[in-house]
Amino acid sequence: MEELRKKHIGVLMGGWSREREISLLSGKMVWQALKRKGLNATMIDVKKDSLGSLNSNQIEAAFIALHGEGGEDGRMQALLEVLGIPYTGSGVLASALSLNKAYSKMIFQVSSIRTPDYCLIGKDENSRRAEKKVLEKVGIPLVLKPTTEGSSIGVKFIRSEQSLRENLGNHQREFGNLIAERLKDGMCATVGILGCIKKTRALPVLELVPEGEFYDYKAKYTEGMTEFIIPARLKDAVYEETQELALQSHHALGCHGFSRVDMVIEKNEVPFVLEVNSIPGMMQLSDLPAEAKHEGMDYDDLIIEILKSAFVERPV
């Protein structure tokens, strides 16, 4: 801890993705935690035209609280590598793979990690041909998702062929590349991963019970819209398998320090991995802090453990 107090830490927040406002809130909470711990920390609102401020602020370590494009996709990590600034969380490749749902699912499949069936839809692909492909490879019901958005932005549940026809083209125009994923009915769950190398561990399984159809943007960031149940109401064997699958997913993508693995437990018996978030939200209502708290770790100590990941060599 004394070594950390000698460092000037920049909390990178904001960015230019659709999750900018969430990042600003997360970043402010992280900064407040670092200050409470007596560390020299500065909030840095990252914008495309002000990346030079990383040098001008003369930071010696970066706590990345950015989400989405530019912050969570490997680009900021690459810039920090070039500048020689240690940073929290996953490296360049793991960040890029995690944010891109298509790449993630390819890795899950070759790693024998259970994930729902899916197919890719290119941004310029003819929507009628894409519709036929989706029906053949995935079937109804399904979920349409942008390949590189977080916070459930752009997620659309499709329960009929007519709905697919009405939404597919619009989604391509708005979000570009998409994946169509088989909809699995079951428990919505998430598992935080914390630690580095041999100390990497799965946090308690969090069961999410949203008021609406699913755990969407509003349910994630509006108090009272989602019930958190920790530990999740699962049989012991299923609970353990869920944690193990989460750990496997984290390692398969090469993640480091911390992540959050989103899952669905079909019929409360069979866990499926949906995606890995390499920089999960760190707000008061966020999943990872709630899971750490159930394990006995308060928010400030969680932030310090994540910060320490900046100074541990990442997996190759």
Helix (H) or strand (E) holding 123: none
Among residues 17, 19, 104, 127, which one is catalytic? Answer: 19
Assess whether 17 carries a catalytic annotation.
no
Among residues 104, 151, 259, 278, which one is catalytic? Answer: 151
Assess whether 151 carries a catalytic annotation.
yes
Assess whether 19 carries a catalytic annotation.
yes
Asked if residue 65 lies in contact with residue 12, where contact means CB atoms within 8 angstroms, the answer is yes
Q: How far is CA 47 from CA 24, 54, 69, 139, in A?
A: 12, 11, 12, 41
Among residues 17, 278, 286, 309, which one is catalytic? Answer: 286
Residue 199 CB: number of other CB atoms within 10 A?
9
Strands 8-14 and 40-46: parallel
Q: Count Cβ neighbours within 10 Å for each residue of 139-155 and write b for 16 or more, e otherwise.
A: eeebbbbbbbbbbbebb
Single out the residue of 57, 123, 58, 116 nearest to residue 262, CA to CA: 116
Single out the residue of 170, 299, 286 nearest to residue 221, CA to CA: 286
275 annotated to bind ligand: yes
Q: Which residues pair with 232 in a beta bridge?
A: none
Single out the residue of 84, 85, 50 nearest to residue 70, CA to CA: 50
Give the C-alpha separation, 316 to 314, whole Å.
6
277 annotated to bind ligand: yes
Catalytic site positions: 19, 151, 286
Q: Which residues are documented as binding site?
A: 262, 275, 277
Q: Which residues are documented as binding site for Mg(2+)?
A: 262, 275, 277
